[in-house]
Chains A and B, each alone.
Chain A
Amino acid sequence: MTPEAYIQTGTTLKWLLGIAWLLPLVGFAVEIFGGYWGKRFDPASNGKKTKLAAYMAVFCIGTGFLLSLSAFFIWKGATDVQLVTAAHAAEHGESHDGDHGDGHDHHDGHDHDEGHGHDAESGHDQDESHEHPHSNETLPPADDVRGQSPEEAEDHEGHGNDPYAAAFSGTFYELAHFGDLRISIDYYIDGLTLLMFCMVTLIATCIHIFAIGYMSDELTEDYEDHFVHLPGGKHFHRPGRFYRFFAFLSLFSFSMLGLVLAGNIFQVFVFWELVGVCSYLLIGFYVERHSASTAANKAFIMNRVGDFGFLIGLMILWTYFGTFQFANTDPQAAGDLGLFQMARDSHGQLDVVDTEEGKIVHLRGSPEDSERSIPYWLLIAAGIGIFGGCIGKSAQFPLQPWLPDAMEGPTPVSALVHSATMVAAGVYLTGRFYPMFTPEVLLTIAYIGCITLFIGATIAVVATDIKRVLAYSTISQLGYMMLALGVGGWGAGLYHLITHAFFKSLMFLCSGSVIHGCHHEQEMTKMGGLYKKMPITCWTMFIGVVAISGLAIPVLNVGLAGFYSKDAIVASGLAFMSGNATHFLLFFVPLVTAGITAFYMFRLWFMTFAGPPKDQHVYDHAHESPSVMTVPLIILSIFAIGCAWFGVLEGWILTSEPTHVAAGGTSAHHVALTLPSHDAIHGVHHTAGTAALFAAVVGAALSAVFYWKGLVDPAVIKRSFSGVHHFLVEKWQFDNLYDVMFVRPVHVVARWCTSFDKNVLDAFLHSLSRMTVVASSWDRKFDETFVDGLVNIVGTSTYRVGRSLQVVQTGKLRQYIMFIALGVLGLFVLLFMFFPRT
């Protein structure tokens, strides 16, 4: 691509995505004001509100999706990326045929011609190992750093050896420039950005449409909130907030897209906080419910804990790197490298040097400050700090308890914000910031993910609230993603992010449909047998359950979306374990949890839809949702089935993979680690896949035994393991632990502070104020007697004069005439008295 074409493409992408990003903001503004005024100035509505706000929001986000999609095609056409990579085919080929080992590194010599169709199943079923290209051909290593001199840079054009060849970065608008600090609104567009855009806008569109139906009972002037009990057994009444809901959704969409589009880490932080605010607003949508408002607070505060780490990371990065930008990919801009380019060379290697003060990392940059470096441990600290933000946002251990409580928000919010997009932003950022993470940080990430996925899954087993099961499942799945990223499976983690977004939002919407149909009943113990009442919801939910469980047809190896991505994760874990035997947990825990996942998901489905109705009242009133709610379910279920097929998705993700990931490598700076290469992962794919599938089938079968066929009574198990059960029901005691560790100490300290304030500071202030009062009362006496007295004398005397003047105004005509004469005479006399006589 010539520099001109590059710039042109970059500009087109920038505007397409920029508009897609800003449209929801416009929508937000219109909805929040229009909603307010529309209510007052629409006499025809008769108190019944219009759905205009919803249409506006759907229009904005839907247009955003179309723009994102067209941006994707423009990007694909303009760059040389191969979506259906041979690497993908290789994985599947291998999973059938076993070992190709390292061999396919040398299977090159194949130019992957565009015409070669990977149509339908054939791409998976046939052995296409002969097509394996060099795995680096997708992301060929560049032999030089960017931007050294224009000639050199141009020289590299068209060779495809630029690690950022398919990425476009630049600046929308520079906000401020303080010395070296540039605060600007940047963009960084590569395959991952585009993928996130398409995913977010597509899911958001579906959820917006779903919400039109789900929130329709807000379309009234008198909404009765059955969950708010007022004294006297009454319920709380308030005007409906339909428009407000959609305004918040639009604001959230804007913030989320901004987060994804951001070209520098500071901007990410800004939008990071913005999505946090939107999440806060949406969780607390039913603000009158005590549980909702406390849940919103909890989410907000816990996220702030993580953001504290984020801020520390930002400070370290700014101090040592002097820039916030991810990478500068403009072929014509010399100098001004981004963070990734400074930290790693074009082969993706860190330049670590041992010095007397310890290990330092040499940073690359413009020649004049070639001596820039950062201590290795600080790079670790920065990485862990940034990851701390991701822990908060993605509800990872130990900051996971906010997510289940966040289910107090309306279900579309849970589907959009708390499963598909915002909570996945932590994973996205970990993936985006991958080049800045040292192996030590990656290990931390892996273990955090590992702990989280296990905790989440175990609690989900005993949860009975349908949305909470899904929430714990989300936590667990996010843990999977983190684990994958941590063990070097960069593609696997983000792969699972996308597939999970589809099937989890699908399941949330299904649960929303159930809740809507059952008149806001969320307890699964009162459901059952609903498959007759709501068939569409039932079967779309089933698709979601199968997808998340990772079930597949064993021989054909065809499964739903979750099967592929979970396979990739487990394979990464296995490959990592084979390199680092001490970290065997990173393989076995996810493997076992895959079984648990299948168990609790099928448990949910059986309890809700299968078997006899458990509560006749709920069952009798249940009904299928209107089509405005079921159509999004069907759309999403199509994606939950097929989004991973043909390898397009995986190939798309891999176009953005950081250069150093594919080759793997060992590191022994502080912790000895071997990160698996792509080849190593391919090598164990089949084994891992089979194991995971086996685990899932076992889990699903157990679930059927317990909850469908009722062969074993779950209550018996519950009794015999009552200690464990209680422990799980209490969510591993996290809430109690935090209560004891943080909340109560804070309360105690606060009480001390209050008493100090009251007894010492206030006493002092009160005495001061009392003295002032005494002094001012003296002052007042002086004022009243002397100053006021004087003023009053003047006032009353002028008033008296004024009154006396009226006496002349008698109203008698005779006197008036006499006054004329007297006046003239008087003037006469006066004039002549003062005029010089001689």
Chain B
Amino acid sequence: MSVSEILNGLIYGDLTRSIEVFCPEVLLCVTVIVLLLLRLFSLDHKIPPYVIALGGSVVAFVAVLLQFVFFTTGGAETNLGAGETLFSLFQLTEAGVGSPGELFTGLLMHDAFTLFFRLGLTFFLVLVVALTVLTGIPDNEDGPDFYTLLIGSTIGMMVATSANHLLMLFLGVEMMSVPSYVMVGFLKGRRSSSEAALKYVVYGAGTAGIMLYGLSLIAGLLGTAEFAELGPRLAYLIDGDGVTLSNPNIVVTLLGVMMVLVGLAFKLSLVPFHFWCPDAFEGAPAEIGGFLSVASKAAAFALLVRFLLAMTASGGGELESLNLYLGLALGVMAAVTMTFGNLAAYGQTNVKRLLAYSTIAHAGYMLMAVSAMLVITNAAESSGWSAAQVQDGAARCVEGLMYYLAVYLFMNLAAFAIVALIRNETFSEEIEDYNGLAHHSGTMTVLCVCMGVAMFSLLGMPPFGGFFAKLLIFASVWNAGSIHWLMWALVVIAGLNTIFSLFYYLRVLKAMFIAPRPEGVRSINMSGLVGAYVVVITLPILLMGASPLQNNLSATARYVASVLFP
């Protein structure tokens, strides 16, 4: 295939459709360009950068939302009053957004799963930008830089969630990582911040190298980099040679997959590739911590699910044992990760560091769902699962993962946002400085109560969203236990871990609510807007727990997940 052929294929092939689907990312790119141009023409003193950033991200969010609505309803009657007008404004067509399939000659994928993640990411971007406006973390001088990085990183994540090619996998991971390195070190004056950024960069570079090695092994072995081709070619390659270590192709495959997983494990901060996480979170501003802990994890999970499904898509045959083995290995990794995360959080005195370990633990919980998915999709015939059962079980795993991510978005963002807002008032992120905060009047009390909600939800207490998210994942993993006993053990370990986590979450709340207010502390007055923002992002935690919305969300997640298992 010559270059001209590729160009022709691009131009005459699916370019219009690709651009139509890619529109939100393009919009974000435009926002970045506008931000930079403003700086160039020194307009950034007249128009605050956050206005541009907020506007751009809202528009992008609306664009994705419309795509999602158009996609799920097929462009038919919608509840949106101005739906038709908006659809035509973004020129959504049945052939374009309306139909799932590959984009850009197969580099990207467009389906409900991708749309769901892109929707979540843009929405999250809006919330984070709003939070940075409230906390004022980038000043006007740094604003364009900061938002460029933030939006750029988000574009990378969106690309990663729609990756359909090994190349895009690598590009996506790097695109979301590189801006985040800078953002971690954004507080230039602080030594710890710079140090954290350096650690993050070097660590990221190391794992990226390993991942690249793995990708080249896979591509070299299978002769393709397209996800759709990976599974069938592997099956063709292995065909009849036996899935043992004596088969060199298996060894290479195993090595390649494992090395790619190391790259993703770095993004997910799975043990033992989590070392960067506490240091980076402690050094970075809490807003960035919140962004990284939610957004990059969500993107990495989407990527992980897609990559693993592509690799194991051969369907049946002797490769099943390999895939099952991979699934179990992930399960073990999940168990180790959550246990380590929860136990290591015990001795922390810094809230951000504590939350960093908490995110490690949560990555472990979510990884359980992925491992159960692999186990279920590769259930041996002897386990007695029918095809429909397998489909349903796997879909439930992904549903649990997505539900968890949706709730996790709000509860983690709430926790980090409150940490950031309290830092702005007390200039401290140490737990002992949280003593008696709830005894302040006004907005601070609201913040403390919201922190309580977020913590209890992270802990998995009913009736908050975190409980139902955990329940969905635990149920789907327990379901997989009939295929391999390890899954049952995994649920038991996860349950124990939930109990372990009680201690350190409650320590924060104890400091806030029970510990007496230290003598001579000045009273804190915060604006009502801050309280309103926190309440707005805390409310969904409740709604996803004990309201009809819970049903809607899980139904949507089920629908999206079922797309992956045709």
CB distance B343 to A816 under 8 Å? no
A835 to B347, CA, bound (A): 37
CB distance A805 to B340 under 8 Å? yes
Chain A residues with a Cβ closer than 8 Å to the other chain, count: 29
CB distance A802 to B245 under 8 Å? no
Determine how close the nearest CB of chain B comes to the CB of A78; give it in whole angstroms: 55
CB distance A802 to B344 under 8 Å? yes
CB distance A831 to B347 under 8 Å? no
Main secondary structure on B side of the interface with A: helix
CB distance A832 to B245 under 8 Å? yes
Determine how close the nearest CB of chain A comes to the CB of B440; give it in whole angstroms: 22
CB distance A813 to B343 under 8 Å? no
Using CB atoms, name the residue of chain B closest to A801.
B343
Residues of B within 8 A of A835 (CB): 244-245, 254, 325
Instruction: Choose among B206, B254, B279, B343 the residue that contacts A798 (Cβ–Cβ < 8 A).
Output: B343
State whether the Cβ of B198 lies closer than 8 Å to any Cβ in chain A.
yes
A444 to B199, CA, bound (A): 104
Instruction: Choose among B245, B254, B259, B275 the residue that contacts A816 (Cβ–Cβ < 8 A).
Output: B275
CB distance B344 to A837 under 8 Å? no
Using CB atoms, name the residue of chain B closest to A821.
B206
State whether the Cβ of B323 lies closer than 8 Å to any Cβ in chain A.
no
Fill in one digit per residue for A791-827: 1 if any B CB lies within 8 Å of its CB, else 0: 0000000110111011011010100110110111011
A824 to B262, CA, bound (A): 7
State whether the Cβ of A836 lies closer than 8 Å to any Cβ in chain B.
yes
Identify which of B198, B272, B340, B500 gathers the most chain A CB atoms within 10 Å of its CB.
B272
Residues of A within 8 A of B276 (CB): 816
CB distance A819 to B275 under 8 Å? yes
Residues of B within 8 A of A822 (CB): 272
Instruction: Choose among A801, A826, A831, A834 the residue that contacts B272 (Cβ–Cβ < 8 A).
Output: A826
Fill in one digit per residue for B188-203: 1 if any A CB lies within 8 Å of its CB, else 0: 0000000000110011
**Given A802-B347, A803-B347, A806-B347: A819 and B244 interface contact (C-beta under 8 Å):** no
State whether the Cβ of A370 lies closer than 8 Å to any Cβ in chain B.
no
CB distance A799 to B279 under 8 Å? no
A835 to B251, CA, bound (A): 10
CB distance A827 to B258 under 8 Å? yes
CB distance B245 to A838 under 8 Å? yes
State whether the Cβ of A828 lies closer than 8 Å to any Cβ in chain B.
yes
Residues of B within 8 A of A809 (CB): 275, 278-279, 344
Residues of B within 8 A of A831 (CB): 254, 258, 329
CB distance A827 to B262 under 8 Å? yes
A836 to B246, CA, bound (A): 9
Using CB atoms, name the residue of chain A closest to B500.
A798
**Given A813-B202, A816-B199, A824-B262: A836 and B245 interface contact (C-beta under 8 Å):** yes
A583 to B202, CA, bound (A): 118
A820 to B274, CA, bound (A): 9
CB distance B343 to A823 under 8 Å? no
Identify which of B198, B262, B275, B321 gathers the most chain A CB atoms within 10 Å of its CB.
B275
State whether the Cβ of B207 lies closer than 8 Å to any Cβ in chain A.
yes
Which residues of B258-278 are within 8 A (CB) of A? 258-259, 262, 272-273, 275-276, 278
A346 to B327, CA, bound (A): 96
A809 to B346, CA, bound (A): 14
State whether the Cβ of B446 lies closer than 8 Å to any Cβ in chain A.
no
Instruction: Choose among B246, B254, B273, B343 the residue that contacts A805 (Cβ–Cβ < 8 A).
Output: B343
Which residues of A431-452 are within 8 A (CB) of B? none
A811 to B198, CA, bound (A): 12
CB distance A811 to B279 under 8 Å? yes
CB distance A802 to B275 under 8 Å? no
State whether the Cβ of B228 lies closer than 8 Å to any Cβ in chain A.
no
CB distance B198 to A803 under 8 Å? no
**Given A809-B275, A835-B245, A836-B245: A820 and B206 interface contact (C-beta under 8 Å):** yes
Determine how close the nearest CB of chain B comes to the CB of A203; give it in whole angstroms: 50
CB distance B345 to A802 under 8 Å? yes
Using CB atoms, name the residue of chain B closest to A832.
B245
Residues of B within 8 A of A819 (CB): 272, 275
CB distance B254 to A817 under 8 Å? no
Using CB atoms, name the residue of chain B closest to A812.
B199
A828 to B261, CA, bound (A): 12
State whether the Cβ of B210 lies closer than 8 Å to any Cβ in chain A.
yes
A822 to B207, CA, bound (A): 12
A760 to B111, CA, bound (A): 81
Fill in one digit per residue for B336-367: 1 if any A CB lies within 8 Å of its CB, else 0: 00001011111100000000000000000000
A10 to B275, CA, bound (A): 87
CB distance B244 to A838 under 8 Å? yes
Determine how close the nearest CB of chain B comes to the CB of A594; give it in whole angstroms: 69
Residues of A within 8 A of B207 (CB): 820
Instruction: Choose among B245, B258, B272 the residue that contacts A837 (Cβ–Cβ < 8 A).
Output: B245
CB distance A820 to B344 under 8 Å? no
Which residues of B317-333 are within 8 A (CB) of A? 321, 325, 329
Residues of A within 8 A of B279 (CB): 809, 811
CB distance B258 to A820 under 8 Å? no
CB distance B344 to A806 under 8 Å? yes
A836 to B243, CA, bound (A): 8
Residues of A within 8 A of B243 (CB): 836
Residues of A within 8 A of B210 (CB): 820, 824
Which residues of B194-221 are within 8 A (CB) of A? 198-199, 202-203, 206-207, 210
Determine how close the nearest CB of chain A comes to the CB of B213; give it in whole angstroms: 10
Residues of B within 8 A of A838 (CB): 244-246
Residues of B within 8 A of A823 (CB): 262, 272-273
Determine how close the nearest CB of chain B comes to the CB of A560; give it in whole angstroms: 65
CB distance A802 to B346 under 8 Å? yes
A830 to B273, CA, bound (A): 16
Residues of B within 8 A of A805 (CB): 340, 343-344
A809 to B500, CA, bound (A): 20
Which residues of B162-197 are within 8 A (CB) of A? none
A327 to B528, CA, bound (A): 63
A823 to B272, CA, bound (A): 6
A362 to B342, CA, bound (A): 87
Fill in one digit per residue for B151-164: 1 if any A CB lies within 8 Å of its CB, else 0: 00000000000000
Residues of B within 8 A of A827 (CB): 258, 262
Which residues of B484-538 are within 8 A (CB) of A? 500, 503
A813 to B202, CA, bound (A): 8
Determine how close the nearest CB of chain B comes to the CB of A574; give it in whole angstroms: 77
A820 to B269, CA, bound (A): 12
A826 to B340, CA, bound (A): 17
Residues of A within 8 A of B272 (CB): 819, 822-823, 826
Identify which of A799, A811, A835 gathers the most chain B CB atoms within 10 Å of its CB.
A835
Using CB atoms, name the residue of chain B closest to A820.
B206
CB distance A824 to B329 under 8 Å? no
CB distance B206 to A817 under 8 Å? yes
**Given A798-B500, A823-B273: A837 and B246 interface contact (C-beta under 8 Å):** yes
A803 to B342, CA, bound (A): 11
Residues of A within 8 A of B329 (CB): 830-831
Determine how close the nearest CB of chain A comes to the CB of B70; give it in whole angstroms: 43
Determine how close the nearest CB of chain B comes to the CB of A836; give it in whole angstroms: 5
Determine how close the nearest CB of chain B comes to the CB of A389; give it in whole angstroms: 52
Determine how close the nearest CB of chain B comes to the CB of A791; give it in whole angstroms: 11
A824 to B256, CA, bound (A): 12
Determine how close the nearest CB of chain B comes to the CB of A814; give it in whole angstroms: 9
> What 5 A-B pairs are tightest by C-beta distance, nearest first?
A802-B346, A802-B343, A823-B272, A805-B344, A816-B275
User: 29 A-B pairs, CB-CB below 8 angstroms?
Assistant: A798-B343, A799-B346, A801-B343, A802-B343, A802-B344, A803-B346, A803-B347, A805-B340, A806-B344, A808-B275, A809-B344, A811-B279, A813-B198, A813-B199, A813-B203, A816-B276, A817-B203, A817-B206, A819-B272, A820-B203, A822-B272, A823-B262, A824-B258, A824-B259, A824-B262, A826-B272, A831-B329, A837-B244, A837-B246
Other than the given A803-B347, A820-B210, A826-B272, 20 more pairs (CB < 8 A) read A799-B347, A799-B503, A802-B342, A802-B344, A802-B345, A805-B340, A809-B278, A811-B279, A813-B203, A817-B203, A820-B203, A823-B273, A828-B255, A831-B254, A832-B245, A835-B245, A835-B254, A835-B325, A836-B243, A838-B246
